[in-house]
Structure 1
Amino acid sequence: MKRIGIMGGTFDPVHNGHLLLGRQARSEYGLDEIWYMPSHIPPHKKDHRITDVKDRLAMLELALEGIPFFSVSDFEMKREGNTYTAQTLELLKEEYPEDKFYFIIGADSLFQLETWYHPEKVMELTSLLVSGREYDRAGRTLDQQISYLKSVYGAHIQVLHNPEMNVASARIRDMAARGEDIGELVPGAVAAYIREHRLYQESR
């Protein structure tokens, strides 16, 4: 049985925070592999045009090159229509019945989890590894949110104790659109790809 961490998202673009989370999850919880799984059509991302699939996959391949036990998965890319985490986890369980999956998310996602498509299935089918111990939302701490989800859904949730990183894909897109240096926020090969292909320029 393999212990596999799943990093989902649009990765538009992938950044150093994504890599930090993967490394922390693998080292802290003894995972065998980390799969970076970009969404095909994420149903909750309506605030900006999602970069073409081939570009997001290419940036991920560049970012993960040479990192042992990290790989890009096109599992969601191969599906048509909206891609929901609950459905993805069901399909993964069918295809890899012997393996145990850990879904890696940020604290903000844990507070939004009940708004997801069939959140009860998400919490039934996977263990959640959550980053952001000091996160607080609407007067509820991360520890309180974890306790709540455990009591209501029987969720299995553990905290990732990674260093804080003030980096977000939206900020990187804005910086790239203004022609600012993003070299400290993304792997060098990804920054070069964004420049060469003039990604995010249309948002200027």
Structure 2
Amino acid sequence: MKCQNIKKKVGIMGGTFDPVHNAHLSLGQCALSQLSLDEVWFMPARDPYFKKKKNVTPAKLRCDMTSLAVSGHPGFRLSLFELEREGETYTAETLELLSEKFPDIHFYFIIGADSMYQIDTWWHPENIMKLCTLVVAGRHYPDGQRSFQEQVNYLRERFQADIEVLDFSETDISSTMIREMVAEGRDISLLVPEAVMHYIEEKHLYK
């Protein structure tokens, strides 16, 4: 088994976190408890290649918001691993560098069901599957696509992927929605941690 003789089990929550919100935290907590992880690392992306044509909030501000969000949550920590790298970042490369730097850790890469249907088109998906346990949240699937379980089986067969499926209730919260609500002057207090809401107000973000 992949986790044999591994001292530590660490979940990776990656993303732009623009902004980080309560659904991110709920998903991290779900993975932490259901998979008995030692920690979940929230890892803001520096320059996500798939968003290079979009306006992404500067990394320093996204990092500050993520730090505020995870503060006080046992088992959560902010990781600057991707922010400290130069240029575009790719999941396969990040996992390879993490495995080299932390050989005593087995990583669990946490994604939503939407990403599970796209991951075989990512940069070197075979390396992603080789370097971590894939953790999938949610069970919905796009119209015309394989069923959720069929997609899990497909990835397991094609990549010999180690996949864990979380019992997680999906929400409609998204960072895009929150940015739009802030721009419209609507209340986001139920969608993000209080400290993050105050930071957005203080820095006049998303106006």
Alignment deviations for residues 68-102 of structure 1 (CA, whole Å, 9 cap, x no partner): 11000000001100010000000011000011000
- Structure 1 residue corresponding to 2:108, chosen from 98, 102, 108: 102
- The equivalent residue for 2:173 is 167
Q: Quick one: which of 4, 7, 11 aligns to 2:13? A: 7
Which AA in structure 1 matches 2:71? E
State the partner residue of 2:96. 90
2:160 aligned residue: 154
Q: How far is 1:135 from its partner?
A: 3.1
Corresponding position: 1:17 with 2:23: yes
The 2-side partners of 1:189 and 1:30 are apart by 28
Letter of the structure 2 residue corresponding to residue 70 of structure 1: F
- Structure-to-structure mapping, 1:53-202, within 5 angstroms: 53-201=59-207
TM-score (norm 2): 0.94
Q: Report the Cα distance in structure 2 between the residues aligned to 1:137 and 1:130, rounded to whole angstroms.
A: 18
Quick one: distance in 1 between partners of 2:143 and 2:105? 34
| Distance in structure 2 (CA, Å) of the matches to 1:74 and 1:102 | 17
Q: Which runs of 4+ in 1 moved over 6 A?
A: none
Deviations 1:138-177, CA, capped at 9 Å, x for gaps? 2311111000011111011111111221100011111111
1:15-71 superposed Cα distances (whole Å, 9 cap, x missing partner): 001000100001001000000001000001145311011110110111111101100
Counterpart in 2 of 1:31? 37
What is the alpha-carbon distance in structure 2 between the residues aligned to residue 135 and residue 173 of structure 1?
26
Residue 52 (structure 1) aligned to one of 48, 58, 65: 58
What SS does structure 1 have at the residue aligned with 2:118? helix
Q: Which letter does structure 2 place at the counterpart of 1:95? A: K
**Fraction of identical pairs, as percent:** 51
RMSD: 1.0
| C-alpha separation in 2, matches of 1:103 and 1:164 | 18
Other structure's SS at 1:44 match = helix
Please tell me whether the aligned partners of residues 136 and 142 of structure 1 are also in contact (alpha carbons under 8 angstroms): no
Structure 1 gaps of 5+ residues are: none
Alpha-carbon distance in structure 2 between the residues aligned to 1:185 and 1:49: 22
Name the amino acid aligned to 2:177: R
TM-score with structure 1 setting the length: 0.96
